[in-house]
Chain A
């Protein structure tokens, strides 16, 4: 029972990372119409920036600077490489471009920081378990869950109440009309892309404290995030979060009984959802069909 709880909680933490990644991917997918294959790259950038700057800024400073750095680089990438492609309606080109970027980022990370894994130091106070029975719940893990909840709440408030958020939501429904109403949709898409990268960077820093840093950490987290979006439903941000947590916990629980199937179960859930409910758990009907 304790083992089951342990694995389920591990899965939940993993699911939190999937959910953060999926949320950023879904934002970029719905407004920018870009499948951002480089999303894992932005996660890696956030994580390694935080790692490099932590000695100077301390853990908390790095926690802020990592995601912000990823967002700034995201902004630059969007401006220079992705913006020229908006006029091509075929999603093929942005998909290939971000795919190339993902390869470049992973390879450069390996060149700069080395191929071996690096540990990311979290404050020692956060590393002690909460209780001896629930030994796996450390302060840091609670912090990860807490920060994620705050980030998601913040995103909700942003999208619900601010002018930027309302424009983003309107843009996902009908970008042409938003443009006709005088909104600068280039700026809007740029900010939205940066917002997605910010979430990826945040996931990167938080994940670094648990999984450590390796150059392929981004590409190993991105595929489950796609699955999270498909399971949750394209076009639904809440669905992406739900999908991420669901597959994370499912993989965790599977680890208890049959570790070899822990990844396969993620894809199995996706196939089942696609067969029974093709639009995903919370997806809108008819979208992309």
Chain B
């Protein structure tokens, strides 16, 4: 327990000091912001994927809706950063809330397929409604604005100051997710993931809880989208495309979907790898594709899952099986695999 707190304190200190040291390891402030933004989205998606057990493969839709919501607010309505964040988040969250009932009853493959297909609707809207959205070329012509607190002005236009705004949003999102996961709602999600039918027999309205997970997750993903649009002062249909949805999912799996911080680890590795590979080779899509295949075949539990397993093995070797049991109660493991997936 102590070790976990220590690790978390180190993480927050590292995040707070990113603009000071990132340059020395070959990064730049915008890369740090991008990792945190994708981190919000991946952590939020993991509420559905890792904690509720719903395979959502269409979260780019809410990310993109947030991005377009923020961009269009800045461009057409008011030049205000907080309002852009608010409106974008509400737009994406509303979409997730309204579309949730269409998927909340489904399971497994069907859940995935419907979320994939629904996600594409917004992609085509963005591409085809081009006099408002800018079509294939994307939405440009807006800038994030300085924040005014009375007479004090926070110049969010500088990259490192924007990083701290993103970090603030990240912290708020993390606190929200932490509180939810520790609450009865969060435990209900895990119960649904572990055995949905049993949860139903206990009298829980599982559909409603899956809906809640989907809506909250979509809202926070939209928040990430708004920040992403303002990071680049640009958004394009690629932010709504199913390839981005797939990237979010692989980042989560890479980091470890059963751990709260897993997605952030995966995001960091994936974003850095993507940044590096795209400068290295024209065939970076093949490289990313190979990354997918290798992760699935070699690291199905993700990096944090691997470390936790190692930790247990070490504990067994050092202190016998009892210590291992004590350790393992701290983490929630996936259920043993039944021979065939439940279909009816």
Q: Give residues of chain A (233-289) contacting chain B, Cβ–Cβ below 8 Å.
A: 234, 260-261, 263-264, 267-268, 270-271, 274-275, 278, 286-289
Enumerate chain B residues within 8 angstroms of A100, measured Cβ to Cβ.
250, 288-293, 296
Number of interface residues of A (CB under 8 A): 50
Q: Are A274 and B102 in contact, with the CB atoms below 8 A? A: yes
Residue of chain A at shortest CB distance from B108: A91
Enumerate chain A residues within 8 angstroms of B161, measured Cβ to Cβ.
none
Q: How far is the CA of A226 from the CA of B285 in the complex (A)?
A: 23
Enumerate chain A residues within 8 angstroms of B300, measured Cβ to Cβ.
88, 93
Determine if B113 is an interface residue (Cβ-Cβ < 8 Å). Answer: yes
Enumerate chain B residues within 8 angstroms of A175, measured Cβ to Cβ.
340
Q: How far is the CA of A3 from the CA of B83 in the complex (A)?
A: 47
Q: Are A223 and B242 in contact, with the CB atoms below 8 A? A: yes
What's the nearest-Cβ distance from chain A to residue B313, in Å?
Answer: 21
Determine if B13 is an interface residue (Cβ-Cβ < 8 Å). Answer: no
Enumerate chain B residues within 8 angstroms of A88, measured Cβ to Cβ.
300, 337
Enumerate chain A residues within 8 angstroms of B282, measured Cβ to Cβ.
111
Q: Mark B150-182, 1 if CB is under 8 A from A, else 0.
A: 000000000000000000000000000000000
Q: Are A33 and B117 in contact, with the CB atoms below 8 A? A: no
Determine if A97 is an interface residue (Cβ-Cβ < 8 Å). Answer: yes
Residue A267 contacts which of B121, B285, B289 (CB distance < 8 angstroms)? Answer: B121
Q: How far is the CA of A223 from the CA of B123 in the complex (A)?
A: 11
Q: Are A35 and B109 in contact, with the CB atoms below 8 A? A: yes
Q: How far is the CA of A96 from the CA of B248 in the complex (A)?
A: 11
Q: With A89-B337, A96-B296, A267-B121 known to touch, is A234 a contact of B110 (CB < 8 Å)?
A: yes
What's the nearest-Cβ distance from chain B to residue A53, in Å?
Answer: 24
Q: Are B112 and A91 in contact, with the CB atoms below 8 A? A: yes
Q: With A227-B117, A229-B113, A288-B110 known to touch, is A103 a contact of B285 (CB < 8 Å)?
A: yes
Determine if A95 is an interface residue (Cβ-Cβ < 8 Å). Answer: yes
Main secondary structure of the interface of B (DSSP, over half): helix
Contact segment of A42-50, A79-87, A156-164? A79-87
Q: Mark B236-257, 1 if CB is under 8 A from A, else 0.
A: 0000001100100110010000
Enumerate chain A residues within 8 angstroms of B125, measured Cβ to Cβ.
264
Q: With A104-B289, A230-B114, A289-B105 known to touch, is A96 a contact of B339 (CB < 8 Å)?
A: no
Q: With A260-B128, A288-B343 known to touch, is A226 a contact of B293 (CB < 8 Å)?
A: no
Q: Are A91 and B55 in contact, with the CB atoms below 8 A? A: yes
Q: Give residues of chain B (121-136) contacting chain A, Cβ–Cβ below 8 Å.
A: 121, 124-125, 127-129
Q: With a 10 A CB-CB cut-off, give which of B49, B117, B295, B297 has the most chain A CB atoms.
A: B117
What's the nearest-Cβ distance from chain B to residue A258, in Å?
Answer: 10
Q: With A89-B338, A89-B341, A92-B253 known to touch, is A271 a contact of B121 (CB < 8 Å)?
A: yes
Q: How far is the CA of A275 from the CA of B98 in the complex (A)?
A: 11
Residue of chain B at shortest CB distance from A270: B117
Enumerate chain B residues within 8 angstroms of A87, measured Cβ to Cβ.
337
Residue of chain B at shortest CB distance from A95: B112
Enumerate chain B residues within 8 angstroms of A103, measured Cβ to Cβ.
243, 285-286, 288-289, 292
Residue of chain A at shortest CB distance from B296: A97
Q: How far is the CA of A92 from the CA of B340 in the complex (A)?
A: 14
Residue of chain A at shortest CB distance from B293: A100
Residue of chain A at shortest CB distance from B103: A274
Enumerate chain B residues within 8 angstroms of A289, measured Cβ to Cβ.
105-107, 110
Q: How far is the CA of A176 from the CA of B124 in the complex (A)?
A: 41
Residue A92 contacts which of B55, B290, B291 (CB distance < 8 angstroms)? Answer: B55
Q: How far is the CA of A99 from the CA of B343 in the complex (A)?
A: 23
Residue of chain B at shortest CB distance from A173: B343
Residue B341 contacts which of A33, A97, A227 (CB distance < 8 angstroms)? Answer: A33
Determine if A101 is an interface residue (Cβ-Cβ < 8 Å). Answer: yes
Determine if B265 is an interface residue (Cβ-Cβ < 8 Å). Answer: no
Q: Are A95 and B57 in contact, with the CB atoms below 8 A? A: yes
Enumerate chain B residues within 8 angstroms of A229, measured Cβ to Cβ.
113
What's the nearest-Cβ distance from chain A to residue B295, in Å?
Answer: 7
What's the nearest-Cβ distance from chain A to residue B59, in Å?
Answer: 14
What's the nearest-Cβ distance from chain A to residue B60, in Å?
Answer: 13
Enumerate chain A residues within 8 angstroms of B292, measured Cβ to Cβ.
96-97, 99-101, 103
Q: Are B118 and A267 in contact, with the CB atoms below 8 A? A: yes
Residue B107 contacts which of A92, A95, A288 (CB distance < 8 angstroms)? Answer: A288
Residue of chain B at shortest CB distance from A84: B297
Enumerate chain A residues within 8 angstroms of B116, measured Cβ to Cβ.
35, 223, 226
Q: With a 10 A CB-CB cut-off, give which of A97, A99, A267 has the most chain B CB atoms.
A: A99
Enumerate chain A residues within 8 angstroms of B334, measured Cβ to Cβ.
90
Q: With A84-B297, A101-B293 known to touch, is A263 a contact of B128 (CB < 8 Å)?
A: yes
Q: How far is the CA of A121 from the CA of B204 in the complex (A)?
A: 61
Determine if B183 is an interface residue (Cβ-Cβ < 8 Å). Answer: no
Q: How far is the CA of A230 from the CA of B343 in the complex (A)?
A: 16
Determine if B233 is an interface residue (Cβ-Cβ < 8 Å). Answer: no
Q: Are A288 and B289 in contact, with the CB atoms below 8 A? A: no
Enumerate chain A residues within 8 angstroms of B102, measured Cβ to Cβ.
271, 274-275, 278
What's the nearest-Cβ distance from chain B to residue A179, in Å?
Answer: 9
Chosen A-B contacts, 12 in total, with CB atoms closer than 8 Å, are: A33-B341, A90-B55, A91-B112, A102-B289, A104-B289, A104-B290, A107-B283, A107-B285, A176-B340, A260-B128, A288-B108, A288-B343
Inter-chain pairs besides A92-B249, A96-B253, A108-B283, 12 sampled, C-beta below 8 Å: A91-B109, A95-B55, A96-B296, A103-B243, A103-B289, A103-B292, A111-B286, A226-B113, A230-B113, A230-B114, A263-B127, A289-B105
Q: Chain B residues in contact with chain A, CB under 8 A?
A: 49, 55, 57, 102, 105-114, 116-118, 120-121, 124-125, 127-129, 242-243, 246, 249-250, 253, 282-283, 285-286, 288-293, 295-297, 300, 334, 337-341, 343-344
